Amino acid sequence: MTVPATTPDPAADVQITVCADGPLLVRGPIRVVGEDGTELPGRRATVALCRCGLTGRPPWCDGSHKVASAAGRGRRPR
Ligand code: FES
In a domain, 46, yes or no: yes
- Residue by residue, DSSP assigns the chain as -PPPPPPP-GGGG-EEEEPTTS-EEEESS---B-TTSPBPS---SEEEE--SS--SSTTB--SHHHHHHHHT-S----
| Distance, CA of 47 to CA of 54 (rounded, Å) | 17
- Of the chain, the percentage scoring pLDDT greater than 90 comes to 59
User: Could you read off the pLDDT of 53-64 as tens digits, one per residue?
Assistant: 999 999 999 999
**What's at 32, amino acid-wise?**
V
Task: Decide: 62 in ligand 1 pocket, CB within 6 A.
Answer: yes
Name which of 46, 38, 40 is nearest 58 in CA terms. 40
Domain CATH code at residue 55: 3.40.5
Nearest atom, ligand 1, residue 19 CA: 1
Q: How many domains does the chain have?
A: 1
What is the best residue among 52, 60, 78 to mutate for testing ligand 1's pocket, by most ligand atoms within 8 Å of CB?
52
In a domain, 70, yes or no: yes
In a domain, 67, yes or no: yes
In a domain, 7, yes or no: no
Q: Residue 49 belongs to what domain range?
A: 16-31+42-78
